[in-house]
Amino acid sequence: MNQFVYGPVPSRRLGLSLGISPIPKKTCNYSCIYCQLGRTHPMTNTRSLFYPVEDILSEFDQILAQRVAFDVVTIVGEGEPTLYSGLGSLINGIQTRTEKPVAVITNGALLGDPEVQSELMVADIVLPSLDACDEAMWHTINRPHRSLEFARVNQGLIDFSHAYQGQLWIELMLIAGINDNEASLQQFKDMLSRLNYDRLYINTPVRPPAETWVAAASPETMTRAVTLLGGISIDLLASTGFHSEITDDYEAIKSIIKRHPMNQHEIEGFLRTRGQMQPSDLLEKLRQSPEIEVLEYKGYLTFRLK
């Protein structure tokens, strides 16, 4: 099983995305209440070379040699990828190996750091999060590392948005009862007017969150937000187009859910694309597996590797 490169997996924003994770699992400077990886551990705000850049690129070379089809390379840690101090060299290394765009998904906490800003400048797409319109909300939702300051994070996003020449796609996560009332939406509108961005994605938690009490915004609120803020709502439908080179169905699903939880509908759809028309036996095997965590959320089951 690969250590750093996974997929391609279908991304609702990016198409067929070949993921690269340069960060040890759950290493982040936030511990968001909606995080699908669970609570952050370890929590750190120190940038480190967690793995040599050459090791990641050599695995990437092996995948390229297999001629796997993909639309974009996405650097998306199992934590926060800007904590990886080799990020700039990694992006450059990928860009010398493929002409496909390189995207970085980030919580945006380090966008005020000049080094991070300059490393991200060469990426083709940067997707930062914007979840809070004031400091108290930021603490409630993102539960940041104690060395981070809201004003600096916010200013970092504003400055980066004006300096960056690539595609800047903002992701706003709306959570029922926390940041989705009319006053918050108006504040978000004001914040967004200070940013120079290309797209706004409005999302709400659709996978099991770190805290079970986190609830998705209602369809009416999502519609209101899209109308007011002019964004695109990521639909709640199951993603399609999962792919794996592994021939054994069980092992293939395991390799996907190591990094990307799948719900039962996604697994059924994936199995059908592989000619498996009776997915219930395999779903049962996944449910019984001690290696797999099964969570019930929004009336259906979601599977992720423990």
- Residue 32 found at the interface with ligand SF4 (CB under 6 A): yes
Binders in 86-145 for ligand SF4, by CB under 6 A: 107
Nearer to ligand SF4, 32 or 252 (CB): 32
Taking CB under 6 A as the binding criterion, the range among 13-21, 28-36, 179-187, 237-245 that sits at the site for ligand SF4 is 28-36
Considering only residues 51-90, where is the footprint of ligand SF4 by CB under 6 A? 79-80
> Is 38 or 241 the residue whose CB approaches ligand SF4 more closely?
38
According to CB under 6 A, which one of 5, 9, 14, 35 is a site residue for ligand SF4?
A: 35
From the list 35-43, 198-206, 267-275, 284-292, the region that binds ligand SF4 by CB under 6 A is: 35-43
Minimum separation from the CB atom of position 40 to ligand SF4 (A): 5
> Of 289, 29, 8, nearest to 138 (Cα)?
29
Task: Mark the segment that binds ligand SF4 (CB under 6 A) among 24-32, 151-159, 197-205, 245-253.
Answer: 24-32
Q: Which is nearer to ligand SF4, 5 or 35 (by Cβ)? A: 35
Is residue 169 a contact point for ligand SF4 (CB under 6 A)? no
